[in-house]
Amino acid sequence: MWFFGRKGASGFSASSTAEEVTGGIDGTGLTAIVTGASAGIGAETSRVLALHGVHVVMGVRNMAAARDVKQAVIKDNSKAKVDLFELDLSSLASVRKFASEFNSSGLPLNILINNAGILAPPFKLSQDGIELQFATNHLGHFLLTNLLLDTLKQTAKQSKVEGRIVNVSSNAHRYIFGEGIRFYKINDESSYNRMRVYGKTKLANILHANELARCLKEEGVQITANSVHPGLVYTNIFKHQSLFAGLLDKIKSFACKTVQQGAATTCYAALHPQVKGVSGKFFVDCNVATPSSLAQDSNLAKKLWDFSMNLVQK
């Protein structure tokens, strides 16, 4: 649509693709982890990073689909460096296993892209007894980031290259319960609203990045943390919303971004020199944007951090 072409201060717009926003950038020598990389935005993010010389580690639940993505990436770019590690973000045990295997691999880590997510499934508890959307979209990434932080710090110190953490959130963070996060009702099936709970997890993604940014700055570490909204992209994330998916299928040509456009803001935040030193920000269409007031609440961010830490330590 016409508004897709309106450029912001970065020089990019909603119509910019991931390849366009990373044009001319050399990522040789960098290593990135991309979660949920077996399809959609995660797969495109992996492809574009690899295209620029980044060694991409795909953290995926569906290994068969990931192998197909890896083959396609290498077919497109014979010099691509891509590894696959199994990762189910809904399982804390799986997250710990992934982090242990990666940390033991000896690989550096410059970029962590917390991309994986699910949208509005029927109510279900994870194997750890936590509501599935909260477990997958926030808590798994919270634990993963904490377990990889030492490797990120060590890499930044040794390479003298800024490390970057990117949380893929959504403007859906505005569609929530009044107080934002009902900590006392995380597992309450009776009040479960699929889309509001999804919005809550996307709010959590922003708050997590903000608190990370504060802690890293306070520690004086050369690592930034930001969150991004990819835009409305028609991918398999809508598999639990058949009616909405059907509507999107009819209007996607003029109302939705392509996957290539949807991955742009993630790749911009992960690689672009304009983002150097920028931390604790929310990006939309490759430009800094203003999230909701709750997403800027530092007290809520700290409360979420403490609540999440308590859950992963049980």
Name the residues annotated as catalytic.
192
Residue given tokens 């390849």 in the structure block: 19
Contact predicate 35/114, CB 8 Å: yes
Strand residues in the chain grouped as ranges (E): 31-35, 55-60, 82-86, 111-114, 163-168, 223-229, 282-284, 287-289
How are strands ordered across the β-sheet holding 55-60? 82-86, 55-60, 31-35, 111-114, 163-168, 223-229, 282-284, 287-289
Q: Give 170's DSSP letter.
A: -
Measured distance CA(8)–CA(70) in Å, rounded: 33
Q: Give 122's DSSP letter.
A: P
Measured distance CA(249)–CA(67) in Å, rounded: 27
Contact predicate 195/240, CB 8 Å: no
Measured distance CA(73)–CA(55) in Å, rounded: 12
Q: Give 294's DSSP letter.
A: G
Measured distance CA(3)–CA(40) in Å, rounded: 23
Measured distance CA(227)–CA(114) in Å, rounded: 9
Measured distance CA(54)–CA(43) in Å, rounded: 14
The Cβ of residue 313 has, within 10 Å, a number of other Cβ atoms equal to: 8
| 3 state SS of 229 | strand
Contacts of 45 (CB under 8 A, 6+ apart): 18, 34, 37, 113, 115, 263, 266, 267, 270
